[in-house]
Amino acid sequence: MTIVVGYSPSGQGRAALHAALRHAVRVGEDLVVASHLYNDPETGPAVASEQTVLADCRATGLDLPEITVRSCDTRDVGEFLLDLSAEIEATLVVIGLHRKSPIGKLNLGASARRVVLGASCPVLAVKDDPTAAADIRE
């Protein structure tokens, strides 16, 4: 049994990763981290490396489950998460969402909407963590 989590080094990526790790530890499942394309303000489009992902996992202080990092730098985030969750027959997909204004809460982002509506397993959507918004640099 495996949990898939969408990750980029941002507040919402870290919130999703931390929620997925807590759940994986609680239920005894492995974790596949889907490190996807994001826009780095200094270098432009980038994908977090396996070392960055694992450093963020270790920073939680949890007794970590088996973690696999899969990266994609060319595909739509939603499609990447859906394909990966179908490929490994995930039991749960975890995604992070941006905090939005009261009016903005009526509209999920396109990728989040695609995952929520298209996943064949439950989807956990968590709000970003503003205290973890600083980027982790290698």
Provide the 3-class DSSP secondary structure of residue 85.
helix
Pick the range with the lowest mean pLDDT from 5-14, 53-62, 68-77, 99-108: 99-108
What tokens does 51 get?
Answer: 């070392």
For range 125-137, the mean pLDDT: 61
Instruction: Write down the residue that tokens 């490994």 correspond to.
Output: 88
**Domain span including residue 9:** 2-77+89-132
For range 107-119, the mean pLDDT: 84
Q: Is residue 83 one of the residues assigned to a domain?
A: no
What's the structural domain count of the chain?
1
Greatest Cα pair distance in the chain: 40
Q: Is residue 36 one of the residues assigned to a domain?
A: yes
In this prediction, residue 23 has a pLDDT band, given cuts at 50, 70 and 90, of very high
**pTM (predicted TM-score):** 0.85
Per residue in 75-110, pLDDT (tens digit) is 788 999 999 999 999 999 999 987 665 555 555 678
Q: What pLDDT does residue 130 have?
A: 64
Residue 58: φ, ψ to 5°:
-65, -30
Instruction: Write down the residue that tokens 């490929």 correspond to.
Output: 87
In whole angstroms, how large is the CA radius of gyration of the chain?
14
CATH code of 108's domain? 3.40.50.620
Give the count of beta carbons closer than 10 Å to the beta carbon of residue 46: 16
Provide the 3-class DSSP secondary structure of residue 78.
helix
For range 101-126, the mean pLDDT: 80
124 in Cβ contact with 23 (< 8 Å): yes
